[in-house]
A and B are shown apart, each in its own frame.
Chain A
Amino acid sequence: MSVPALKDEVLAVLAGVPDPEVPCISVVELGIVREVRADAVVITPTYTGCPATQAIEQGIRAALDGHGFRNLKIETALAPPWTTDWISDEGREKLRAYGIAPPPQGAAKNSLREDVACPRCGSARTEEISRFGSTPCKALHRCLDCREPFDRFKCH
């Protein structure tokens, strides 16, 4: 198989691997698959201490093995560091539909920002409840209009 064809096929397989903590989006949409080479898939962790990192690697390994890519290694690269700007537009929409306010595209430079629209009713009147949430990548907010609490994917 030619390298571009292999790449497309592997990416299609990985598009079916969900993030274990945010299963509405795939590891490809999350932007942690950095490169597909003839001999390896290169991935990068989201947060340094994210406990999902191991589960992600296992999920990718199982998917590759299941589709006949047993010879592909999985390599981890730390640099350049993962950023929420690498989440695809489709991934952002899926996050919103899932009830998690996605980070705006290009907002990673301003990682401490707090303004966010409610993923349910769209209102911009929201407040932060807890800057740290159920996973390293999320903070907890509340909508002041529809009153729903919601997770915000932190700009990073």
Chain B
Amino acid sequence: MTDGLTEYALRLGDDSLILGQRLGEWCGHAPMLEVDLSLTNVALDLVGQATLFLGIAGDADKLAFHRDVLDFKNCLLVEQPNGDFAQTIARQFLFSNWQELLFRELTQSRNATLAAIAGKAVKEVAYHARLANEWMVRLGDGTAESRARIVNGLDWMWRFGDELFDVDDVVEPLIASGVAVDVRKLRGEWDQRIARTLSEATLEMPKPRRAAKGGRIGHHSEHLGHLLSEMQFLQRAYPGATW
């Protein structure tokens, strides 16, 4: 069992790493060049965050490329497949609005490294959230086709939102000592943000779903293993290979 701070850093780092990898899958495949640039730029920021957070937990490269699926601590939301463009945007919408609030609070952490990473990354995440919010509106208040797709995409991603606000006995002591953010307190503000953008996008709040959880303790969907098989291929085929 790792110590609390290591575990917390793994969770933060794995969220960023896995979503960064997912967005990277769009490289060369996005519906237009501007979107290709946007998604890969966001991916780059996320991989940068992951490098810093995983650096708290150990050797970032080793953690990224040598762990197996059960040792990853990301939330289930970020490992969900890209689906169509709307599903990707729905995932980003839920995640970036959460991450912006999380990092805003994490800048106050009593752990100086966490606070420094958050202070740096929060400015970048504001950009990610705005990108996702604008696309939610464009797709929702767009054509019948784009609307149907974003409704479907959001409906799928919605069940993974609750996990973002869970606190367990790993994080509880870190909250008490001022190191970790109490994400439960961010729920109201996140709900408001989500509702505001959905209203602008002329979309309904999705129907409540049974929440899907487990990522924080390594219980993942089948999708994560497939993602890792691609991300980790080189280090598994040629252990220790360097650039």
Asked if B236 is at the interface of the complex by the 8 Å CB criterion, the answer is no
A140 to B47, CA, bound (A): 23
Shortest CB distance A48–B (Å): 3
Known: A48-B120, A80-B119. A112 touches B127 (CB 8 A): yes
**Residue from A48, A80, A82, A133 with most neighbouring chain B CB atoms (10 Å):** A48
How many A-B pairs with Cβ below 8 Å?
Answer: 72
Q: Which of B109-117, B140-148, B152-160, B164-172 contacts A (4 or more CB under 8 A)?
A: B109-117
Asked if B49 is at the interface of the complex by the 8 Å CB criterion, the answer is yes
Q: Which residue of A has the minimal Cβ distance to B20?
A: A49
Asked if A156 is at the interface of the complex by the 8 Å CB criterion, the answer is yes
- Check B120 against A49 for contact (C-beta < 8 Å): no
Q: Could you say which residues of chain B place their CB within 8 Å of the CB of A134?
A: 37
Q: Could you say which residues of chain B place their CB within 8 Å of the CB of A136?
A: 41, 44-45, 124
Shortest CB distance A65–B (Å): 22
- Check B123 against A49 for contact (C-beta < 8 Å): no
Known: A50-B48, A78-B117, A81-B119. A132 touches B41 (CB 8 A): yes
Asked if A51 is at the interface of the complex by the 8 Å CB criterion, the answer is yes
**Residue from A49, A82, A112, A131 with most neighbouring chain B CB atoms (10 Å):** A49
Which residue from A77, A80, A82, A112 sits with its C-beta under 8 Å from B126?
Answer: A112
- Check B38 against A130 for contact (C-beta < 8 Å): yes
A72 to B109, CA, bound (A): 32
Asked if A1 is at the interface of the complex by the 8 Å CB criterion, the answer is no
- Check A47 against B126 for contact (C-beta < 8 Å): no
Q: Could you say which residues of chain A place their CB within 8 Å of the CB of B75?
A: none
A48 to B51, CA, bound (A): 9
- The A interface, classified by DSSP as helix, strand, loop or mixed, is loop
Asked if B130 is at the interface of the complex by the 8 Å CB criterion, the answer is yes
Contacting A at CB under 8 A, from B17-46, are 33-34, 37-38, 41-42, 44-46
Chain B contact residue count (CB 8 A cutoff)? 28
- Check A130 against B48 for contact (C-beta < 8 Å): no
A120 to B123, CA, bound (A): 29
A48 to B52, CA, bound (A): 8
Asked if B203 is at the interface of the complex by the 8 Å CB criterion, the answer is no
Contacting B at CB under 8 A, from A127-142, are 129-134, 136, 140
Contacting A at CB under 8 A, from B91-136, are 112-113, 115-117, 119-121, 123-124, 126-127, 130-131
Q: Which residue of A has the minimal Cβ distance to B131?
A: A131
A108 to B123, CA, bound (A): 10
Pick 16 A–B contacts, CB within 8 A, sort by A: A47-B45, A47-B48, A48-B49, A48-B51, A48-B120, A77-B116, A78-B117, A78-B119, A79-B120, A81-B119, A130-B34, A130-B38, A131-B127, A132-B42, A136-B41, A156-B123
